């Protein structure tokens, strides 16, 4: 019996026997999902990689002008000849995955329940250029903490959706899918799953969406854990003047760094469709565009991507974008964030909030500023790490998630 069929049967049994899903499945609202990329798609990728045409590179250049061509060629060669997508497909299909229609779009999500029935429901929300692949290192430790240095009381039921237009979720065909609308969609997903109270965790766009989720549904969200805390400077000049000099220095240093890193925001925020033509047609171009971010936004001791990420980890995420053809639809979140105004002011997030602050994050917000926008109850300055915390520093992130939810549920 094939793995997809085994998985389908296992999910069918799971759905028919679990009380949490039985009602939901009665009208086929939630459907089991299997990752299954065709041999034709894999062969097409290989052929395109074989025909790649990389640009020249200055002898003195490594990453200063963009993605290092020498390493990119090494990665592309590995992608063509050694990378095993079927193995990664099996890893994904070992997880319980589903799709359900929310506001006219099929939303894909991992729903991995803990064997501990009293576990806390926790939604993990990814960003760009990430995906649910970012969470593969932390899902099992979250649902079975006793096997990874934790206690049964630390257990979570994990829900990890693919954002609309990302990965295996459907692509919006109409404008307006800004982070606020995505937050409402994810709240509807949790309601459909029968979770009345739950936690949120995320970085990048995931953190922004979760912030809106918590602000709009404070009666449902028990805690917001963020590894990407954004907040504006305090409006009160007396409060602003109290900002520690160390925090201002670090913030300014990261802003100066991002001055040379933010061109992608301007392109994706204004002309994502034009960019998408090239990235959707060329796996080399797609890999270069995403790889540059994993290199530039991470805490790499020697400056090499494989200081923190294996080729398989990088390429699984890149392949997900390639096979689903979602690089264009995912990039549109930048455009929608600019062009679609919030329906209501964001306001203060009253939900208990934790900030996990990794030193090489692309933007650093002073704690004092965050306290003006969130109910900050935990603030952890991490010893190392950057933007892709779940994939880059999973143990540090896990420990902080556990400590925060234990703190607020005592």
Active site residues: 204, 334, 387
- Look at residues 263, 284, 272, 278 and name the one whose alpha carbon lies nearest to residue 328: 272
Q: How many C-beta neighbours within 10 Å does residue 106 have?
A: 16
Backbone angles phi, psi at 307, to 5 degrees: -60, -30
Place of tokens 């953190």: 207
Token pair of 338 as six digits: 């600019």
- For residue 303, give the DSSP letter: S
CA distances (Å), 133 to each of 11, 251, 321, 330, in order? 20, 29, 11, 15
What's the CA gap between 109 and 167, in Å, rounded? 10
What's the CA gap between 354 and 110, in Å, rounded? 24
- Look at residues 327, 235, 346, 241 and name the one whose alpha carbon lies nearest to residue 284: 327
Q: For 253-360, list the strands marked E by DSSP.
A: 349-357
Q: Reduced to 3 states, what is the DSSP secondary structure of residue 196?
A: coil
Are residues 214 and 348 in contact, defined by beta-carbon separation less than 8 angstroms?
Answer: no
- For residue 175, give the DSSP letter: S
What's the CA gap between 279 and 321, in Å, rounded? 10
Place of tokens 């960019």: 275
- Look at residues 203, 197, 231 and name the one whose alpha carbon lies nearest to residue 217: 197
Contacts of 154 (CB under 8 A, 6+ apart): 145, 402, 405, 406
């Amino acid at each position: 019996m094939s793995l997809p069929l085994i998985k389908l049967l296992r999910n069918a049994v799971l759905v028919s026997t679990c009380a949490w899903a039985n009602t939901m499945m009665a009208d086929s609202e939630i459907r089991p999902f299997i990752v299954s990329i065709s041999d034709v798609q894999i062969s097409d990728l290989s052929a395109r990689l074989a025909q790649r045409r990389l640009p020249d590179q200055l002898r003195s250049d490594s990453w200063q002008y963009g993605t290092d061509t020498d390493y990119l060629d090494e990665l592309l060669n590995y992608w063509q000849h050694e990378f095993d997508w079927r193995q990664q497909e099996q890893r994904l299909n070992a997880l319980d995955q589903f799709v359900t229609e929310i506001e006219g779009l099929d939303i894909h999500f991992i729903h991995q329940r803990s064997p501990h029935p009293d576990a806390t429901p926790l939604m993990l929300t990814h960003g760009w250029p990430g995906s649910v692949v970012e969470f593969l290192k932390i899902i099992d430790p979250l649902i079975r903490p006793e096997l990874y240095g934790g206690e049964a009381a630390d257990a979570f039921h994990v829900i990890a959706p693919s954002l609309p237009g990302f990965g295996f979720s459907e692509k919006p065909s109409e404008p307006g899918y800004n982070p606020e609308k995505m937050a409402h969609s994810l709240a509807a997903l949790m309601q459909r799953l029968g979770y009345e109270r739950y936690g949120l965790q995320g970085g990048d766009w995931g953190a922004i969406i979760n912030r809106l989720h918590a602000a709009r549904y404070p009666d449902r969200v028990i805690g917001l854990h963020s590894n990407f805390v954004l907040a504006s400077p305090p409006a009160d000049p007396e409060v602003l003047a109290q900002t520690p000099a160390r925090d201002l220095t670090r913030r300014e240093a990261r802003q100066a760094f991002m001055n040379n890193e933010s061109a992608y925001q301007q392109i994706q925020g204004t002309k994502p469709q034009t960019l998408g033509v090239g990235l959707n047609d060329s796996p080399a171009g797609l890999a270069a565009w995403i790889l540059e971010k994993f290199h530039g936004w991470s805490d790499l001791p020697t400056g090499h991507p494989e200081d923190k990420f294996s080729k398989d980890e990088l390429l699984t995420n890149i392949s997900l974008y390639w096979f689903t053809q979602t690089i264009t639809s995912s990039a549109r979140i930048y455009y929608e964030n600019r062009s679609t105004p919030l329906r209501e002011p964001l306001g203060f997030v009253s939900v208990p909030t934790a900030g996990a602050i990794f030193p090489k994050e692309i933007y650093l917000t002073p704690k004092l500023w965050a306290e003006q926008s969130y109910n900050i109850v935990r603030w952890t300055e991490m010893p190392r790490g950057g933007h892709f915390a779940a994939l880059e520093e999973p143990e540090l992130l896990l420990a902080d998630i556990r400590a925060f939810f234990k703190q607020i549920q005592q």
